[in-house]
């Protein structure tokens, strides 16, 4: 039914948000969903009139005609129209296109902005509409036109010279370069040998005989580590006969502060580390939490604030509610003495708050039954991080003891937590390092005590190359270098993986041969496009447009001439590249030709070389040495189509339904007989872990068993 003359029409983006807002506002309002953009540049052509000052040519998106017709019908009878799309550049542009489609004047006070889908936020926003912010619209247009010029000019060149289906983009090309550059660093890295020396120490007399671990820090004023085994052997020999005493003891205190509430980037990173979510999965689930979940007894409620933000600020209202909540639920001793005000990055936009729960009173446990497992885990992460952000620091007591004699210096360092503070609730994870130093018992020693040593040992190490990027660490690196913005991290990483430029193994990103080839071409012919500083500066120029400091077409006019010159050189110089497919020893069961390996969005697959005459394809099957724990059949490595995550299943599916995310091993648990799986530790160690929940026996896999440790081992 059309809206009555007394009804006001509100247009939002998603149907889920429309349902929630309808309940908040009641019968006086009609809420419709545009389902994202209704107008955009056409897919069939570049859609930018370069000859007429880069004027964009917008059309109604295919499939949106019926939606737009329905909205027009409702708007015709509405007493007032409010445009309540998302509070960012994209949302502003959607409202601008809707205003044109509905013949709403540009200066009309029709734009409604709220940062959380809650009753109070929506009602207050409707009371305070504003005009459409044309600076935000222009910033979005500038980004869209830039991306269209780069994508629609370079991609056809790649199709013609290399292979159909390839693409280049303003941000995706830089992300690919970062992954390729890191791989080149790893390949060029030359390990250097070094040796550490450690021992177990204890006071000789009159003290408790509990040993404590010490490490050599210098010998004859030469700092460790030592360069080779000969030096290490000589140092061990001297250490065993040295007369040692405690020369100094220093007690101290270390304080650790809570992390700020989440930004888009930090949420993607932490969800990757703690929950093993990809960036795209994180954004998909947090979008659901933002738009609204149907809660038992409450109806549809938005659970978190707006999710595309690089601000760590929280509102005064949310701060007051949280600081009232902590003392009554966790104890007054855990509340920070003054409000914790966090400082964001220098180029962060402060239009939105940090990502936080819309109500601190809505605990994860209270609503667990209304959430899926993934929704619950992500909401819990956001909730606990927010709560911890206004708690006191954790306090650690530290002890450093120096032991010296005969030109040798050893050191003990230990710490233990004396006040947990915020760590009772939440601790941040880190990439490629342990979360925190191990807790240590302090030795009962005094200055002047004579020390004896046991278990004196030298240990050989080699310097390690920089680790490959994970999705989380690539997002962090992109943010630090100013590449992209909160809304672009996830789609950028998804794109370079879908194009086959980058693959993911054991959470690490590895460039493919195709990715390296495309990157080399881009570096040679389009050096500006893949230059990190150039791309970061372009993001700053887009920010200036948003702030009303620059006309958007001026940015395009400055960019295009040099880009067009590079394009002309590339078109004339790049020769046709023939990509030779890796041959296999597997015949095509349709035409008999020997199949070849190709890279697809889900990894390698087998294809008939006689395409398009023969279109036969097959998955590449990797079998494990371990038999299926259920039926004894062969286990196969597979790839989840939805999450693109590796898992293991039985070849006898569906007769046998065995599946496992972790790789099963051939050895059975020596304690209970259950099957075991392979797990990776943070420092490269590898374990066989029993899958029996009541056993959970762990056995470290030695270097002899596994060969060389993968540099990308990470639990």
The catalytic residue positions are 306
Measured between its terminal Cα atoms, the distance across the chain in Å is 55
- Give the β-pairing of 8-12 and 29-33: parallel
Q: Measured between alpha carbons, how far is 708 from 74 in angstroms, rounded to an integer? A: 67
Q: Measured between alpha carbons, how far is 160 from 244 in angstroms, rounded to an integer? A: 74
Residue 644 preceded by cis peptide, ω within 30:
no
Helix (H, G, I), strand (E, B) or coil at 484: coil
Chain-centroid distance of CA 603 in Å reads 20
Check: CB of residue 458 under 8 Å from CB of residue 450.
no
Sign of CA dihedral 232, 233, 235, 236: positive
Helix ranges restricted to H, 37-171: 65-76, 89-101, 119-127, 134-161
Helix ranges restricted to H, 337-488: 364-367, 373-388, 471-480
Q: Which of 50, 6, 13 is nearest to 28 (CA)?
A: 6
DSSP state of 289: H
DSSP state of 275: H
Can you read off the two tokens belonging to residue 266?
């930090």
Q: Which of 110, 27, 38, 26 is nearest to 70 (CA)?
A: 38
Instruction: Find all residues with CB under 8 Å of 558, minimum gap 6, and list them.
Output: none
Beta-carbon neighbour count of residue 704 at 10 Å?
A: 6
Residue appearing with tokens 């738009």: 291
Give 356-368 as a DSSP string: -BS-TTS-HHHHG
Q: Measured between alpha carbons, how far is 539 from 555 in angstroms, rounded to an integer? A: 11
Sign of CA dihedral 549, 551, 552, 555: negative
Beta-carbon neighbour count of residue 657 at 10 Å?
A: 11
Q: Measured between alpha carbons, how far is 50 from 468 in angstroms, rounded to an integer? A: 40
Q: Is 4 left (phi over 0), alpha (psi -120 to 50) or beta?
A: beta
* Number of helical (H) and strand (E) elements in the chain, helices listed first: 18, 30
Length in residues, the chain:
715
Q: Measured between alpha carbons, how far is 352 from 387 in angstroms, rounded to an integer? A: 19
The H-or-E segment that residue 451 falls in is strand 450-462
Q: Measured between alpha carbons, how far is 314 from 325 in angstroms, rounded to an integer? A: 15
Instruction: Find all residues with CB under 8 Å of 533, minimum gap 6, and list them.
Output: none
Chain-centroid distance of CA 107 in Å reads 39
Check: CB of residue 268 under 8 Å from CB of residue 276.
no
Check: CB of residue 686 under 8 Å from CB of residue 710.
no
Can you read off the two tokens belonging to residue 7?
């009804």
Q: Measured between alpha carbons, how far is 529 from 516 in angstroms, rounded to an integer? A: 16
Is 137 exposed, middle or buried, given 0-12, 13-18 or 19+ CB atoms closer than 10 A?
buried
Check: CB of residue 509 under 8 Å from CB of residue 474.
yes
């Amino acid at each position: 039914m059309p809206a009555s003359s007394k009804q006001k029409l509100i247009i939002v983006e998603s149907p889920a948000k429309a349902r929630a807002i309808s309940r908040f506002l009641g019968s006086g309002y009609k809420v419709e969903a545009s389902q994202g953009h209704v107008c955009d540049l056409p897919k069939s052509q570049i859609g930018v009139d370069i000859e007429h000052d880069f004027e964009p040519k917008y059309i109604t998106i295919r499939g949106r005609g019926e939606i737009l017709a329905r909205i027009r019908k409702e708007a015709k009878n509405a007493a007032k129209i409010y445009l309540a799309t998302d509070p960012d550049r994209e949302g502003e542009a959607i409202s601008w296109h809707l205003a044109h489609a509905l013949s709403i004047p540009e200066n009309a006070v029709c734009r409604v902005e709220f940062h959380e889908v809650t009753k109070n936020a929506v009602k207050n926003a409707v009371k305070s509409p504003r005009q459409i912010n044309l600076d935000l619209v222009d910033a979005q247009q500038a980004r869209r036109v830039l991306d269209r010029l780069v994508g629609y000019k370079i991609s056809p060149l790649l199709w013609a010279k290399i292979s159909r289906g390839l693409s280049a983009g303003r941000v995706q090309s830089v992300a690919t370069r970062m992954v390729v550059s890191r791989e080149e660093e790893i390949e060029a890295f030359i390990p250097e040998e070094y040796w550490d020396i450690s021992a177990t120490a204890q006071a000789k007399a009159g003290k408790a005989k509990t040993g404590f671990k010490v490490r050599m820090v210098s010998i004859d004023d030469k700092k460790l580590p030592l360069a080779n085994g000969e030096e290490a052997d000589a140092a061990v020999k001297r250490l065993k006969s040295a007369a040692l005493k405690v020369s100094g003891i220093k007690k101290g205190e270390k304080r650790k502060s809570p992390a700020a509430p989440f930004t888009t980037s930090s949420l993607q990173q932490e969800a990757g580390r703690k929950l093993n979510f990809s960036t795209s999965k994180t954004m998909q689930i947090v979008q659901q939490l933002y738009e609204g979940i149907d809660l038992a007894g409450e109806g549809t409620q938005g659970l978190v604030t707006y999710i595309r933000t690089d601000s760590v600020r929280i509102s005064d209202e949310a701060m007051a509610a949280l600081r009232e909540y902590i003392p009554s639920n966790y104890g007054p001793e855990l509340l920070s003495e003054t409000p914790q005000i966090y400082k964001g990055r220098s180029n962060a936009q402060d239009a939105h708050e940090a990502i936080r729960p819309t109500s601190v009173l809505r605990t994860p446990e209270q609503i667990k039954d209304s959430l899926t497992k993934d929704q619950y885990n992500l909401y819990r992460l956001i909730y606990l991080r927010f709560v911890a952000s206004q708690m006191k620091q954790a306090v650690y007591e530290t002890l450093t003891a120096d032991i010296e004699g005969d030109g040798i210096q050893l050191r003990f360092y230990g710490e233990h937590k004396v006040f947990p503070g915020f760590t009772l609730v939440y601790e941040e994870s880190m990439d490629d390092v342990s979360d925190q130093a191990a807790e240590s018992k302090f030795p009962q020693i005094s200055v002047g005590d004579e020390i004896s040593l046991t278990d004196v040992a030298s240990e050989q190490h080699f310097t390690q190359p920089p680790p490959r990027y994970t999705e989380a660490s690539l997002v962090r690196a992109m943010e630090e270098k100013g590449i992209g913005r909160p809304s672009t991290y996830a789609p950028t990483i998804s794109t370079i993986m879908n194009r086959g430029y980058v693959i993911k193994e054991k959470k690490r990103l590895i460039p493919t041969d195709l990715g390296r080839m495309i990157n080399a071409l881009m570096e040679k012919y389009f050096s500006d496009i893949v230059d990190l500083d150039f791309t970061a500066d372009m993001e700053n120029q887009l920010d200036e447009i948003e702030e009303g400091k620059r006309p958007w077409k001026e940015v395009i006019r400055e960019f295009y001439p040099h880009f067009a010159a590079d394009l002309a050189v590339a078109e004339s110089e790049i020769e046709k590249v023939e990509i030779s497919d890796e041959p296999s020893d597997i015949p095509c069961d349709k035409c008999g030709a020997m199949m070849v390996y190709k890279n697809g969005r889900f990894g390698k697959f087998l294809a008939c070389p006689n395409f398009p005459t023969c279109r036969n394809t097959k998955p590449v099957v990797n079998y494990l040495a371990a038999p299926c724990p259920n039926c004894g059949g062969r286990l196969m490595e597979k790839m989840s189509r939805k999450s693109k995550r590796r898992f293991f299943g039985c070849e006898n599916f569906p007769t046998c339904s065995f599946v496992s995310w972790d790789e099963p091993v051939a050895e059975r648990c020596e304690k209970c007989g259950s099957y075991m799986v392979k797990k990776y530790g943070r420092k490269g160690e590898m374990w066989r872990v029993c899958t029996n929940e009541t056993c959970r026996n762990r056995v470290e896999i030695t270097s002899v068993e596994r060969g060389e440790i993968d540099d990308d081992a990470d639990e």
